[in-house]
Amino acid sequence: MGIFDRSTQGHVTPPVEVTLERGAIAFFAETIGETDPVHLDVEAAQAAGHPDVLAPATYAVVVGTFAGQKAARQGQPDLLTLINGDLRVLLHGTEAYDYHGPMFAGDTVTVQNEVTGFSDPKGGKLEIAHVTTRITHPERGPIVTATRGIIHRLG
Amino acid sequence: MTVTPQNAKVGDMIPDHKFGPVTRTTLALYAGASGDHNPIHIDLDFAKNAGMPDVFAHGMLSMAQLGRLVSNFAGQDKIRHLDTRFTAITPVGATVDCTGEVTDRREEGGETLLTLKLAAHIDDGTQTLKGEAVIAV
């Protein structure tokens, strides 16, 4: 038997608003080694035609994590708590993004997670939770659709 | 000739991208910058209690390098899709070598789209990520 709470299948988390911040984007960009100033400096971003500092491609996962932290502060479970993730045996299996538009510092976006299902590959030695995260901007509509496979090592 | 989105043909390799070596400091900073505080990546005591010999890198730190590989090539606002499967863990001390091969070039919805097959390998040859990107030219 697995560890994930299978009764959460189909669950959609309440929308959480996250405002992207210049300093947080620059910290992330520097940490991953990014040198393109459009991610680091507002003047460089604007000179390149952007309204503000541009979030790097995988910043979508960070926005999702920040949404989970905010939910937890508001007394709601974050995603891993919701599905009963066990960090001792947890691995990240897959991550995918479909980009509908860019995200910039100053944007306030809405984050919602959907637990789309569970699978039991390798004869039950692994169990995988499948989650879709949708990041939406109030005027620009869908920004990123992220899908993720979160693994428990059971064998 | 340098391969660019404009001249790329099926079979071409895009300019590769290296990151590392990944240190414990890198992992501590990535935990803070990303908000991913899973102790398996930053707390040796936790990792050992979980049966691992050491902490290991966040998969998303390596995926961020695939993102840099593709945005260096095409510009980040041209990326339409990016995905990866994490096929092995990345240990402390590893250097991550990211590569991309053009596997398709097509016209769709009035724009030219390229599909790239992506990979990350570490120093000992282990493939750590296997992925794909779609970019607009």
ipTM of the complex: 0.96
To test the contact with chain A by mutation, choose from B27, B63, B132 the residue with the greatest count of A C-beta atoms within 10 A, namely: B63
pLDDT of residue A9: 97
How many Å lie between the alpha carbon of A11 and the closest alpha carbon of chain B?
22
Interface contact flag, B30 A98, Cβ < 8 Å = no
Q: Which among A54, A56, A96 is the nearest to B64, CB-wise?
A: A56
Query: pLDDT below 70 — which residues of chain A?
Result: 1
Q: Which among B19, B36, B89 is the nearest to A65, CB-wise?
A: B36
pLDDT of residue B127: 98
pLDDT of residue B1: 80
Q: Does B30 touch chain A (CB under 8 A)?
A: yes
Fold for the domain defined by A6-153: Thiol Ester Dehydrase; Chain A (3.10.129)
**CA-CA distance, A22 to A137, in Å (whole number)?**
17
Strands B111-121 and B96-108: antiparallel
Question: In three state form, how does the secondary structure of B33-52 look?
Answer: HHCCCCHHHCCHHHHHHCCC
Tell me the CATH architecture of domain B12-136. Answer: Roll (3.10)
- The domain locations on chain B are 12-136
Among A108, A112, A86, which Cα is nearest to B40's?
A86
Cis peptide bond prior to A56, omega within 30° of 0:
no
Among A141, A61, A100, which Cα is nearest to B79's?
A100
DSSP classification of residue B54 = S
**Mean pLDDT for the stretch of residues B101-118:** 96
**Mean pLDDT for the stretch of residues B41-70:** 97
Which residues 115-134 of chain B have a CB within 8 Å of chain A? none
Which residues 64-103 of chain B have a CB within 8 Å of chain A? 64-65, 67-68, 70-72, 76-77, 79-86, 89
pLDDT of residue B85: 98
State which residue of chain B sits closest to A36, comparing Cα positions.
Answer: B72
Interface contact flag, B50 A102, Cβ < 8 Å = no
Judging contacts by C-beta atoms under 8 Å, the chain B residues touching residue A95 are 59-60, 63, 83-84, 86
pLDDT of residue A155: 78
**CA-CA distance, B70 to B90, in Å (whole number)?**
20
Judging contacts by C-beta atoms under 8 Å, the chain A residues touching residue B36 are 61, 65
Q: How many A-B residue pairs are in contact by the CB < 8 A criterion?
A: 107
Interface contact flag, B79 A65, Cβ < 8 Å = no
